[in-house]
Amino acid sequence: MCWMCDARAALSGRRGFLRAATAAAGASALAPVWGQVQVGQPSALRSLVPAAQLESAASQQYAQLLAEARAKGALAPEGHPQLRRLRAIAQRLVPHALPWNERARQWRWEVNLIGSKQINAFCMPGGKIAFFTGILDQLQLNDDEAAMVMGHEMAHALREHARSRIAKTQATGLGLSLGAQLLGLGDLGRLAADLGTQLLSLKFSREDETEADLVGLELAARGAYDPRASVALWQKMAQVAGGNGLEFLSTHPSGPSRIRDLEANIPKVEALYEQARRAG
């Protein structure tokens, strides 16, 4: 089934989503922040990789991915019901991003859907989100579960896990430390751009995954999505995984400890969820 659509209509719809998300994010800057889950401080090593350059590289890779999907007739058009559903979820989550990363104020959030059997989704540095139809269809995700996936992926970008992971890898390889900032970071800046092509296959640490789970849990709860869906999501993931080596699980390992951590943190965000739900 071909999903090619009128380019002008697609651009108009995408701009409409960006305007709505940006306006909501601006309003959230005045909202009180309370009841947050507890996560550690972001890695100081991430400062070795210029955020703007990595976000620019991510944006270029994202555009290339969309262009390839469009050429194959696999990019969902603006009116596709699943795409509209994902963008509606994003509009409820994006306003709660700023407390986690001030840079998100400058991000041009974007959500797209690609027709593929892959069980996968991601959010690249700078707020570029994509879902594959496989994760929605094969897991039969309801809105709450899809929000948990999106919140988790947004959290990776907000906590700058890709930036930290690249910095740690390159600093180790080049024998660098934070003191390298005094010597100039032109080489690492170029590395950030080059490594942008590897963002989709980047594997995060167990600590990164835990942080993304917890921050994503809170983002979704503040967006009025049931935090208990986080447990249901990973239970579904475990059921379909089997020995198939799912793409999503290659970069997002599952396990009983993950579910236990989520269960322990659900009570911390339940009040946020109930407040958001009552506010409509």
Active site residues: 153
Place of tokens 């507890």: 38
Residue among 79, 95, 69, 77 at smallest CA distance from 4: 77
Distances (CA, A) of 151 to 92, 97, 185: 10, 10, 32
- Rounded to 5 degrees, what angle do the CA atoms 272, 276, 280 make? 170
Helical axes 81-93 vs 7-28, angle rounded to 10°: 20
Residue tagged 């793409």 (tokens): 247
Taken in order 62, 67, 73, 78, is the CA torsion positive or negative?
A: positive
- How far apart, in whole angstroms, are the C-alpha atoms of residue 225 and residue 223? 6
Phi, psi (deg, nearest 5) at residue 243: -110, 25
Q: How far apart are CA 146 and CA 87, in angstroms?
A: 11
Q: How far apart are CA 256 and CA 231, in angstroms?
A: 10
Look up residue 72 and give its two tokens.
């194959």
Q: Is the dihedral of CA 230, 146, 59, 203 positive or negative?
A: positive
d(CA 50, CA 276): 35
Smallest CA-to-CA distance from 14 within 114, 153, 154, 109 is with: 109
